[in-house]
Amino acid sequence: MSIDVFTYRGIEISAESLAMGATAESISAGGGTIPSNVGAIKFFVPAGDSVHFTYEGGPDPTSTTGHAVAASTWGFIPAGKTASKIISDDASDVSLIIVYERGAGRADNGGSVSEPR
């Protein structure tokens, strides 16, 4: 009897919960650990909270300016914009769930087309 093993390497490489946003700050400034091979970053805003964010290099967000992310929805920061800043709409920390997606700098050595690892 032969057992075939299929390896699945998902796009998500890491996740963490992080309380941040009382002031406009990036994920790393808020205490997050951004992997070296990160691509895009997704963050989930819990029920009862909302945030605004601006992309890296833009003006700091406020509770009324920037990209709004409502309660119980996902925000998205594209690859290369890891210093984007996030702020809570009510001036208190929000416990965000942050999901890091794999980028082009595959620090895990990946696998070949013919032989996944």
Return the higher-pLDDT residue of 91 and 1: 91
pLDDT recorded at residue 117: 45
Hey, which residues does 20 pair with through a beta bridge?
Answer: 94
Give the whole-angstrom CA distance, residue 47 versus residue 82. Answer: 24
pLDDT in tens, 29-61: 999 999 999 999 999 999 999 999 999 999 999
Q: Indicate the pTM of the whole model.
A: 0.80
Give the whole-angstrom CA distance, residue 33 versus residue 24. Answer: 17
Mean pLDDT of 88-108: 85
Architecture per CATH, 12-102: Sandwich (2.60)
